[in-house]
Amino acid sequence: MNTIIAFILMFGLLVFVHEFGHFIFAKRAGMLVREFAIGMGPKVFSLKRNETLYTIRLLPLGGYVRVAGEDPEIIELKAGQHIGLEFSESGHVNKIIVNNKSKHPNAHVIEVEKADLDHRLMIEGYEVDAEDRLVFQVDPKAVFVMDENETQIAPYNRQFASKTIPQRAMQLFAGPMMNFLLTIVIFAIIGFVQGVPTDEAIIGEVVPDSPAEEAGFQSGDQVIKIEDTSISSFDEFKAIVGDSPEEELSMVVNRNNEQVELTVVPKSIKSQDQEFGQIGVTTQVEKSVIKAIPYSLEETYFWGKLILVNVVKLVTGQFSIEALSGPVGIYDVTDQVVQTGFMNFLSWTAALSVNLGIMNLLPLPALDGGRLLFVGIEAVRGKPIDPQKEGIVHFIGFALLMLLMIVVTWNDIQRLFL
């Protein structure tokens, strides 16, 4: 149960932060945000507030912010169509009844001649069985009513395509950017609460019943020499110990300004067909806000670089597709991480956050990076690519991503039962 709760909270946080980035920059640019969704598939919960429908959906496969103009509007008024109109106190149309007009007895029924709800915000037509042509001004926040569901119209100045290239690019980049910021914040919290490792080879804690305890190591000891090699950092100390499983090592430590000689035999540890030595000590840590901030940046850079290297290996064939993990694999790892402690769970969340940001910036159709690529092409050529052609590319890309998700999930399931 703890794993399920942890996974839901982690998934919800990562997706919420990502989509909130898209949402807030869309609102700042004046775009009409139709829906803010966490998850995919059928709605589990929904709440309409102001112009936006907030939803939680069943499948934990991501989320989305649906901005007007990013996908074709499903309602279009055509010549000869009969519609009902309701008016605001100012006399502007505020409701356009598409069907079930009998349920709206106060609606003014007309036959449409033409309508422009993008620029002029006008509907022209005739009363039924009348010849006088009428022109109606439409309120910018008017709604369509179809099957008793209301959908706000989207004048062109509220649509994604109407905004400048920098505004559109920022709205697309904001999701991954928020994931990077979340990673930095989480690692800063970890660094402040748990402490930041010092660069020097100073022992923090000695594990009970470990080779280090048997050899006489104490907290606060500073390792200054191993055999004939001078030690200036914990990484150097760790590297020599790791390369010396089951080998006797003579060390000199500085303890209370006195040099003490100790002899220790690192225990052999095997992991993924590799063997390394370990004596059972941790590095000393410092708890400081000043130290935590650069630590968070270093950790974010480390994980970001690691993920990019792995992406390159995947593209170049050094990794097979079987090495990828989807929601099932992530859940399985989360289960293992949760059992090791809350701080490790936070680190795992931070790593997934930067991973989500980087993967979304890949220049693949349907991803933020793919859409940013189209915006960049528009900036270079001076005019946008045909929206229908771009839509086909993104649709094909989305279908391929869903196929990849199915394959990865199947691999995850097979790994669980092998």
**Side chain identity at residue 375, one-letter code:** V
Q: Indicate if 19 belongs to the active site.
A: yes
> What single string gives the DSSP state of each residue in 195-238?
-EE-SS-BEEEE-TTSHHHHHT--TT-EEEEETTEE--SHHHHH
Q: Which of 349, 366, 369 has the alpha carbon at shortest distance from 308?
A: 369
d(CA 66, CA 50): 15
- Mapped onto helix, strand or coil, the DSSP state of residue 127 is strand
Cα separations (Å) of 290 from 200, 234, 286? 18, 21, 10
Q: What are phi and psi of 360, to 5 degrees?
A: -75, -20
Structure tokens at 134: 């009428």
- Mapped onto helix, strand or coil, the DSSP state of residue 124 is strand
Give the rounded distance of the alpha carbon of 121 from its chain centre.
Answer: 37
Q: Is residue 341 within 8 Å of 334, Cβ to Cβ?
A: no
Q: Is residue 349 within 8 Å of 355, Cβ to Cβ?
A: no
Q: Is residue 316 within 8 Å of 235, Cβ to Cβ?
A: no
Contacts 24+ apart (CB under 8 A), 399-404: 400/365, 401/364, 401/366, 401/367, 404/321
Q: Which of 19, 150, 258, 286 is catalytic?
A: 19
Q: Is residue 206 within 8 Å of 280, Cβ to Cβ?
A: yes
CA dihedral sign of residues 407, 410, 416, 417 = negative
**Side chain identity at residue 206, one-letter code:** V
Largest CA-CA distance found in the chain, in angstroms, rounded: 107
Residue with tokens 């982690």: 10
Which residues are part of the catalytic machinery? 19
